[in-house]
Chains A and B, each alone.
Chain A
Amino acid sequence: MAILFDKDSKVAVQNITGHVGTFNTQRMLDYGTKVVAGVVPGKGGMVHLGLPVFDTVEEAARRRGANTSLIFVPAPFAADSIMEAADAGMKLIVCITEGIPTLDMVRAYDFVKKRGSTLIGPNSPGIISPGIGKAGIMPTEIHKPGKIGVISRSGTLTYEGVFQLTTSGLGQTTAIGLGGDPIIGTRHVDALRLFNDDKATKGVVMIGEIGGTDEEVAARFIEEEMKKPVVAFIAGRTAPKGKRMGHAGAIIAGSHGTALEKMEVLRSAGAHIVESPAEIGSTMKKALRKK
């Protein structure tokens, strides 16, 4: 089993013909993902990587049954692409694009919410359900089908967590990169809720970082409703205040959003906190044994 991305997911790739779109779509196909179409305005009728290309997402949905969109569109146009995918009825929209203006995302977020789609990202590595497929840019070989859900705001740090779960033999049900921007479609609490209801998932690794209050909101959910062990790491204990740490969302504003504060809230909510990011896998093993 998996969440959000499963065997019924049929992917349309927006801006499939670009360099990054081409490279990653090929890798998704190699992994066995059901990619059904590409979308590039003005290139409708073309065939790329053996896939039909359409001018609009609506066409990809109507003609090829696409229900999931993966977006590689450059930042100035990406918010529009997200809205287009939502309007075309995509169940899941995964936006990889980094650097979308925040106010564009404020509008797109509202739009997507009103259309009832689920958005992952932007500035996300995407989503993978090992053994089923992926909509994203993560390296597939570090993943392994298994029983742990992974949620993270970061890209390569997700890979680190995933890699540790694979080498410790636990594997993953689904791994989701939520994205490093201040405005993102799916947050820790949304993914926790889905993993909580997913029978195949026996535990969840949650990797947070400084900035915002998403981890605090997640802590409330863990305390009140979570039935499975949660192992959490928060990146950025050593981050200086008021500096943007790469991600637009990773910034400590005033006295809020520090790593220590987030760790404390999660700890008292019952999550297993890892102090060392090298101990994500081993801590999950212990947490499962305790249970």
Chain B
Amino acid sequence: MKVHEYQAKDIMRKYALAVPNGRVVTDAASAKVAAKELGCPCVVKAQIHAGGRGKGRFKEDPELGGVKLARTEEEAEDLAKRMLGKTLVTAQTGEAGKVVGRVYIEQAQNIARELYLGMVIDRERSKIVVMASTEGGMEIEKVAASTPEKILKEWVDPGTGLMAYQANKLVFGLGLKEDEAKEARSLMLGLYNMFIKEDASLLEVNPLVVTKAGKVLALDAKLNFDDNAAYRHKDRDALRDLTEEDPLEVEASKYGFNYVKVHGGSVGCMVNGAGLAMATMDIIKLFGGAPANFLDVGGAADSKVVENAFKVLVDDPEVKAVLINIFGGIVRCDLVANGIVEGLKHIGKIKVPVIVRLRGTNAEEGLKILRSSSLKFTVAEDFGEAAKKAVELAKKGGA
């Protein structure tokens, strides 16, 4: 789960970590009030779940980027007006861009140095790695590709946590001295503590700045949480911004199955298991079609889950054919078939062709259930054949 910059900074404040003062607003008049209270100059920052905002441009206003300095309250108000409700396109949003629903007004800083600090779980070593670089404000992936020696790394022993000596190695490696070094070290240790307590999966402070007055501050903050640990953080749902998510995906998550919409595709897929679901999308593409979604009904799918999954598929106007590919193991094929039949009752007539391939546990029983229902469908024996048929029928339906 991703959160906005202003939410990440709110959490950092709870841990008494150094961030500039700021306020989030949703209308231009409040932006003016906030700017007055915080004092000018201030920075107006578009809040979207994607990086590269400063270099990004608004579709409606190609001169305007997503992070702008305002010298006066009026300028802050004007900038907020030009950003709110408009679509910001950055290197990370894709061409469609993202609509800005909130802007963050923050006290401007006199910056002496821009640094980078990141924490992430290194899968190769199965440890948290803390990364620091003198190349703040840049895309860290570009730094890693061109000058990897400029990224300092410390891997954390999970038994001990991040040690002060490790923070020292990073801080002094960045060339910080005296009070600045002390502040940066305690910020680093504090951020690590927050990372653990909040079950984060990624934290990036880019840039981490040293001000001309010698203060060390997190000027930006990107924070992702581990969804698996959500049960330990009951208040987290309130941080979720549904406008950042695809409405069909939000619906799917309510029903408890995994769904990712792929825009522009025409073959809807319902599969059990994430790997098989991805492979089903791949084989559709291989046969010249385009998958409309990833949908994994999961290992514990009951007929209610299947019913809702089926509804989400046929509700998608882009879907011209539906491919159901179930390899029964724990999930029994007859159960899946029952779910589809129940779904049918609520949907009524299905307008698109349905191709079914059932294998494994109770596959025959499943097909029998489907045959005795009102569902018109095509049966496929193997994986390749199923995909081929689905692609053909989707093309016919689209024409």
Question: Contacts A103-B199, A277-B383: A160 and B327 contacting too (C-beta < 8 A)?
Answer: yes
Question: Contacts A103-B196, A157-B279, A207-B275: A246 and B296 contacting too (C-beta < 8 A)?
Answer: yes
Q: Which residues of the partner chain A approach B56 to less than 8 Å between Cβ atoms?
A: none
Taking the complex as formed, is A56 at the interface, i.e. its CB lies under 8 A from any CB of chain B?
A: no
**Structural contact, A156 and B278, CB atoms closer than 8 A:** no
Contact string against B for A residues 98-124, beta-carbon threshold 8 Å, 1 for contact and 0 otherwise:
111111111101100000000000000
Question: Contacts A155-B275, A245-B260: A213 and B123 contacting too (C-beta < 8 A)?
Answer: yes
**Structural contact, A235 and B282, CB atoms closer than 8 A:** yes
Alpha-carbon distance between A243 and B244 when the two chains are bound, in angstroms: 13
**Structural contact, B275 and A157, CB atoms closer than 8 A:** yes
Q: Which residues of the partner chain B approach A100 to less than 8 Å between Cβ atoms?
A: 228
Contact partner of A277 among B199, B283, B299, CB < 8 A?
B283
**Structural contact, B383 and A160, CB atoms closer than 8 A:** yes
**Structural contact, B262 and A238, CB atoms closer than 8 A:** yes
**Structural contact, B228 and A155, CB atoms closer than 8 A:** no
**Structural contact, A160 and B124, CB atoms closer than 8 A:** no
Q: Which of A28-36, A194-202, A247-255 contacts B (4 or more CB under 8 A)?
A: A247-255
Q: Mark out the residues of chain A between 128 and 153 whose CB falls within 8 Å of any chain B CB in the assembled complex.
A: 137-139, 142, 152-153
Taking the complex as formed, is B231 at the interface, i.e. its CB lies under 8 A from any CB of chain A?
A: yes
Q: Mark out the residues of chain B between 273 and 294 whose CB falls within 8 Å of any chain A CB in the assembled complex.
A: 273-279, 281-286, 291, 294
**Structural contact, A180 and B275, CB atoms closer than 8 A:** yes
Taking the complex as formed, is A278 at the interface, i.e. its CB lies under 8 A from any CB of chain B?
A: yes
Chain A: minimal CB distance from B380 (Å): 11
Q: Which residues of the partner chain B approach A157 to less than 8 Å between Cβ atoms?
A: 273, 275-276, 278-279
Interface band, chain B: 35 or more
Among B141, B159, B228, B271, which residue has the most Cβ atoms of chain A within 10 A? B228
Chain A: minimal CB distance from B118 (Å): 12
Least CB separation from A236: chain B residue: B278
**Structural contact, A210 and B359, CB atoms closer than 8 A:** no
**Structural contact, A106 and B258, CB atoms closer than 8 A:** no
**Structural contact, A154 and B327, CB atoms closer than 8 A:** no
Alpha-carbon distance between A164 and B84 when the two chains are bound, in angstroms: 55
Among A158, A214, A217, A246, which residue has the most Cβ atoms of chain B within 10 A? A246
Taking the complex as formed, is B348 at the interface, i.e. its CB lies under 8 A from any CB of chain A?
A: no
Q: Mark out the residues of chain A between 70 and 115 whose CB falls within 8 Å of any chain B CB in the assembled complex.
A: 75-76, 98-107, 109-110
**Structural contact, B141 and A139, CB atoms closer than 8 A:** no
Q: Which residues of the partner chain A approach B199 to less than 8 Å between Cβ atoms?
A: 101-103
Taking the complex as formed, is A287 at the interface, i.e. its CB lies under 8 A from any CB of chain B?
A: no
**Structural contact, A159 and B327, CB atoms closer than 8 A:** yes
Among B262, B274, B276, which residue has the most Cβ atoms of chain A within 10 A? B274
Question: Contacts A139-B329, A180-B275: A75 and B157 contacting too (C-beta < 8 A)?
Answer: no
Question: Contacts A100-B228, A102-B229, A239-B294: A278 and B383 contacting too (C-beta < 8 A)?
Answer: yes
Chain A: minimal CB distance from B159 (Å): 6
Chain A: minimal CB distance from B69 (Å): 29
Q: Which residues of the partner chain B approach A279 to less than 8 Å between Cβ atoms?
A: 384
**Structural contact, A246 and B274, CB atoms closer than 8 A:** yes
**Structural contact, B291 and A238, CB atoms closer than 8 A:** yes
**Structural contact, A180 and B274, CB atoms closer than 8 A:** yes
Q: Which residues of the partner chain B approach A240 to less than 8 Å between Cβ atoms?
A: 260, 262
Taking the complex as formed, is B330 at the interface, i.e. its CB lies under 8 A from any CB of chain A?
A: yes
Taking the complex as formed, is A275 at the interface, i.e. its CB lies under 8 A from any CB of chain B?
A: yes
Question: Contacts A155-B275, A210-B278, A240-B262: A249 and B123 contacting too (C-beta < 8 A)?
Answer: yes
Contact partner of B299 among A76, A106, A155, CB < 8 A?
A155
Alpha-carbon distance between A209 and B275 when the two chains are bound, in angstroms: 7
Q: Which residues of the partner chain B approach A213 to less than 8 Å between Cβ atoms?
A: 123-124
Taking the complex as formed, is A5 at the interface, i.e. its CB lies under 8 A from any CB of chain B?
A: no
Least CB separation from B231: chain A residue: A76
Taking the complex as formed, is B193 at the interface, i.e. its CB lies under 8 A from any CB of chain A?
A: no
Alpha-carbon distance between A245 and B279 when the two chains are bound, in angstroms: 11
**Structural contact, A101 and B275, CB atoms closer than 8 A:** no
Taking the complex as formed, is B227 at the interface, i.e. its CB lies under 8 A from any CB of chain A?
A: yes
Taking the complex as formed, is B397 at the interface, i.e. its CB lies under 8 A from any CB of chain A?
A: no
Q: Mark out the residues of chain B between 352 and 399 whose CB falls within 8 Å of any chain A CB in the assembled complex.
A: 359-361, 382-384, 387
**Structural contact, B274 and A102, CB atoms closer than 8 A:** no
Taking the complex as formed, is A54 at the interface, i.e. its CB lies under 8 A from any CB of chain B?
A: no
Alpha-carbon distance between A207 and B294 when the two chains are bound, in angstroms: 18
Alpha-carbon distance between A275 and B272 when the two chains are bound, in angstroms: 21
Least CB separation from B156: chain A residue: A106
**Structural contact, A183 and B228, CB atoms closer than 8 A:** no
**Structural contact, A125 and B278, CB atoms closer than 8 A:** no
Contact string against A for B residues 47-91, beta-carbon threshold 8 Å, 1 for contact and 0 otherwise:
000000000000000000000000000000000000000000000
**Structural contact, B327 and A156, CB atoms closer than 8 A:** yes
Alpha-carbon distance between A139 and B333 when the two chains are bound, in angstroms: 13
Chain A: minimal CB distance from B151 (Å): 14
Contact partner of B227 among A137, A217, A235, A248, CB < 8 A?
A248
Taking the complex as formed, is B254 at the interface, i.e. its CB lies under 8 A from any CB of chain A?
A: no
**Structural contact, B278 and A250, CB atoms closer than 8 A:** yes
**Structural contact, A236 and B282, CB atoms closer than 8 A:** yes
Least CB separation from A257: chain B residue: B123
Taking the complex as formed, is B351 at the interface, i.e. its CB lies under 8 A from any CB of chain A?
A: no
Chain B: minimal CB distance from A72 (Å): 12
Taking the complex as formed, is B97 at the interface, i.e. its CB lies under 8 A from any CB of chain A?
A: no
**Structural contact, B361 and A139, CB atoms closer than 8 A:** yes
**Structural contact, A247 and B274, CB atoms closer than 8 A:** yes
**Structural contact, A276 and B274, CB atoms closer than 8 A:** no
Taking the complex as formed, is A182 at the interface, i.e. its CB lies under 8 A from any CB of chain B?
A: yes
Q: Which residues of the partner chain A approach B296 to less than 8 Å between Cβ atoms?
A: 245-246
Alpha-carbon distance between A155 and B201 when the two chains are bound, in angstroms: 24
Contact partner of B277 among A110, A246, A275, A276, CB < 8 A?
A246
Q: Mark out the residues of chain B between 286 and 335 whose CB falls within 8 Å of any chain A CB in the assembled complex.
A: 286, 291, 294, 296, 298-299, 327-330
A-B contact pairs, 28 of them (CB 8 A): A75-B228, A98-B299, A101-B232, A102-B121, A103-B121, A103-B199, A105-B126, A106-B121, A106-B128, A139-B328, A155-B329, A159-B329, A159-B360, A163-B359, A180-B275, A183-B121, A183-B126, A209-B278, A235-B276, A236-B278, A236-B281, A240-B262, A245-B277, A250-B274, A276-B283, A277-B279, A277-B282, A277-B283
The 8 residue pairs across chains A and B that have the minimum distance between CB atoms: A154-B275, A246-B274, A156-B273, A157-B275, A278-B384, A101-B229, A235-B278, A156-B276
11 new A-B contacts at CB < 8 Å, known A75-B231, A275-B286: A101-B232, A110-B157, A139-B329, A153-B275, A154-B273, A235-B278, A238-B262, A238-B291, A243-B260, A244-B227, A278-B383
